[in-house]
Amino acid sequence: MSKQCITAEGAPPALGPYSHAVKAGNLLFLSGQGSLAADGSGIIRGTIEEETHQTFSNG
């Protein structure tokens, strides 16, 4: 079975040893997304509204 690691364009780089998604055959495994700064410098902390806004802005 072939495996393809996928990195989403415009999303911050993963902070750990994982990909944004991995396609294996007909399956697609997705990782979560957090309130990371767009430049990958760290987590944006704030209210739930602020962190949610940042998370969706990263997509």
pLDDT at residue number 4? 95
pLDDT at residue number 58? 75
Report all structural domains of the chain as residue ranges with CATH numbers, in order of start: 3-57 (3.30.1330.40)
Two tokens, residue 38: 């767009």
Helix (H, G, I), strand (E, B) or coil at 45: coil
Q: Are 38 and 58 in contact (CB under 8 A)?
A: yes
The per-residue pLDDT for range 24-56, each reduced to its tens digit, is 999 999 887 788 887 778 888 999 999 888 888
pLDDT at residue number 20? 86
pLDDT at residue number 59? 65
Q: Mean pLDDT, to the nearest integer, of 3-8?
A: 90
